[in-house]
C-alpha cells in the first residue's frame, strides 16, 4: 500500500490531531498523511493456472468494442473467433469481489480458443460468471479437452447448469434463468468433484475425469469448434490448482471480500524519524502491506512488508522511518 507523509517545521507548542495531521511539541516537525491506496493481495491455498478477466486487461477493451483476443494474466491469451463484443453489463458480485467492469458477450458462432488442454485430473478448479440468453439448446460455457471422451468443463444442458467429465460423469445442477448472472465453479478436491452454484455445493461425484486431450475453449464444443455454441456473456474465467485437501469455498473469486484500508496519524515524530500507521481489513485474504515514501510523488523508498493473516477483522499496521532529513518534505 502507498502512504505519503509530509514532514515540515512547525512552532507548535502542543500536541493536536486534526484528521491525519499531527503537531508535535519541541520536535519542529509536523506530519500530514493521505489514504492508503495500494495493496498486494494473493491467495494462500490456490495457484492461478490461467485467468482471463474478459476485458479489463485486453488491448482496446471498452464497452461495445469488438474483441480479437482476451488476455490471460498468467499465460498466453486466447483468440476470439468471429469477434465477441465487450459489455459493461457485469455481475454485481463480480464487480464487488474482483472489480469487474467488462465481460465478453457471445452470439452463435463466436468462441475463444488457442489454449492447449490442461493436464489436471485432480485438485483443480474451473470457475466463471455466466449470463445466458436462452436455455433451449446444449451450450458449452468452458471445456478442457474432448467433451465426448475426456477432460472437464461447464455446460448449459437441457435448461440446467452442468459440470461434465467427458464420457465419465454428469454433475447436473439447478435450472438456468436466462438474463441472470450466475457464478459457477467445478472443483475436484482430493478425489471428490463438486459443482458450486453461487458458492453453494449443488452436486458431487467421486468419478474421475479421463486425462484431457486437445484444447481448452470457451463458448463452443472444444473438440470441433463447430457446435454447442453459447449465446450470452461470460466473465472472470479462471483455472486454478491447489494441494490435496486444501480447497475451501473461500478460495473462489465469488468469496473475495474487498479489503478496507484507512490511515491514522503518524506517531513518534521526531527530527529524523516517524512512525507511519494504518489499519487493514484483509477481507479473508492473506495480505501483504507496506508503505512507500520519498521526497517526490515518485516516492522511491519502501518500508519492510507486513504479513497480515486472512481474517475478516481490522488489523493495525505500522512501520518506522529513520534517517529523515530535517526540513525536508517527504
pLDDT > 60? residue 9: no
Whose CA is closest to 86, among 107, 104, 99? 104
Overall average pLDDT of the 7-12 stretch: 27
Gap between the Cα atoms of 91 and 74, Å rounded: 23
pLDDT > 90? residue 40: no
pLDDT > 60? residue 150: yes
- Give me the domains of the chain, ranges plus CATH numbers: 5-39+259-321 (no CATH), 46-243 (2.60.120.200)
Gap between the Cα atoms of 248 and 117, Å rounded: 25
| pLDDT at 314 (0 to 100) | 84
For a pLDDT cut of 90, what percent of the chain falls above it?
Answer: 56
pLDDT > 50? residue 41: no
Whose CA is closest to 124, among 112, 146, 97, 142? 142
Gap between the Cα atoms of 173 and 101, Å rounded: 28
Do the beta carbons of residue 247 and residue 302 sit within 8 Å? no
Task: Report the chain's mean pLDDT, rounded to a whole number.
Answer: 83
At residue 75 the predicted structure's pLDDT band, cuts being 50, 70 and 90, is confident
Cell of 29: 516537525
Using alpha carbons, list the distances in angstroms from residue 294 to 32, 271, 323, 324: 14, 16, 12, 10
For a pLDDT cut of 70, what percent of the chain falls above it?
Answer: 83
Using alpha carbons, list the distances in angstroms from residue 81 to 55, 59, 77, 78: 15, 16, 13, 9
Q: Which residue has better confidence, 262 or 15?
A: 262
| pLDDT at 128 (0 to 100) | 98
Length of the chain: 330
At residue 43 the predicted structure's pLDDT band, cuts being 50, 70 and 90, is very low
Gap between the Cα atoms of 85 and 8, Å rounded: 53
| pLDDT at 312 (0 to 100) | 64
Gap between the Cα atoms of 222 and 324, Å rounded: 60
Whose CA is closest to 5, among 38, 35, 33, 29? 33
Overall average pLDDT of the 81-100 stretch: 92
pLDDT > 70? residue 42: no
Gap between the Cα atoms of 242 and 252, Å rounded: 12
- Give the tens place of pLDDT for each residue, 168-193: 999 999 999 999 999 999 999 999 99
| pLDDT at 258 (0 to 100) | 61
* Strand arrangement, sheet containing 111-116: 69-70, 78-81, 111-116, 215-218, 139-144, 152-157, 160-165, 169-175
- Give the tens place of pLDDT for each residue, 115-133: 799 999 999 999 999 999 9
- Give the tens place of pLDDT for each residue, 22-39: 222 223 333 333 333 333
What is the C-alpha radius of gyration for the chain, rounded to an integer number of angstroms?
25
Amino acid at each position: 500500500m502507498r502512504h505519503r507523509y509530509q514532514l515540515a517545521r512547525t512552532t507548535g507548542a502542543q500536541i493536536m490531531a486534526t484528521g491525519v495531521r499531527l503537531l508535535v511539541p519541541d520536535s519542529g516537525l509536523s506530519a500530514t498523511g493521505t489514504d492508503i491506496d495500494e495493496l498486494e493481495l494473493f491467495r494462500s491455498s490456490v495457484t492461478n493456472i490461467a485467468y482471463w478477466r474478459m476485458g479489463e486487461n485486453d488491448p482496446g477493451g471498452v464497452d461495445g468494442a469488438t474483441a480479437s483476443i482476451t488476455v490471460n494474466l498468467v499465460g498466453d491469451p486466447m483468440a476470439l473467433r468471429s469477434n465477441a463484443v465487450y459489455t459493461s453489463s457485469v455481475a454485481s458480485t463480480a464487480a464487488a469481489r474482483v472489480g469487474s467492469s467488462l465481460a465478453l458477450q457471445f452470439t452463435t458462432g463466436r468462441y475463444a480458443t488457442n489454449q492447449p488442454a490442461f493436464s489436471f485430473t485432480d485438485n483443480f478448479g474451473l470457475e466463471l460468471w455466466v449470463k445466458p440468453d436462452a436455455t433451449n439448446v446444449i451450450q458449452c460455457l468452458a471445456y478442457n479437452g474432448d467433451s465426448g471422451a475426456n477432460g472437464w468443463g461447464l455446460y448449459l444442458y437441457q435448461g440446467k447448469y452442468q459440470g461434465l467429465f467427458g464420457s465419465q460423469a454428469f454433475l447436473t445442477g439447478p435450472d438456468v434463468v436466462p438474463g441472470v448472472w450466475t457464478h459457477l465453479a467445478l472443483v475436484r478436491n482430493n478425489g471428490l468433484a463438486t459443482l458450486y452454484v453461487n458458492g453453494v455445493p449443488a452436486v458431487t461425484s467421486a468419478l474421475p475425469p479421463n486425462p484431457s486431450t486437445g484444447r481448452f475453449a470457451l463458448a463452443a464444443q472444444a473438440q470441433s469448434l463447430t457446435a454447442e455454441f453459447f449465446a450470452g456473456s461470460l466473465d472472470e474465467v479462471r483455472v486454478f490448482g491447489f494441494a490435496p485437501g486444501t480447497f475451501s469455498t473461500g478460495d473462489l473469486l465469488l468469496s473475495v471480500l474487498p479489503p478496507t484500508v484507512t490511515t491514522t496519524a503518524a506517531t513518534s515524530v521526531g527530527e529524523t524519524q516517524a512512525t507511519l500507521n494504518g489499519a487493514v481489513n484483509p477481507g479473508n485474504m492473506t495480505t501483504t502491506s507496506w508503505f512507500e515514501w520519498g521526497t517526490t510523488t515518485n516516492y522511491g523508498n519502501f518500508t519492510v512488508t507486513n504479513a497480515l493473516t486472512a481474517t475478516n477483522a481490522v488489523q493495525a499496521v505500522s512501520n518506522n522511518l529513520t534517517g529523515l532529513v530535517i526540513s525536508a518534505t517527504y
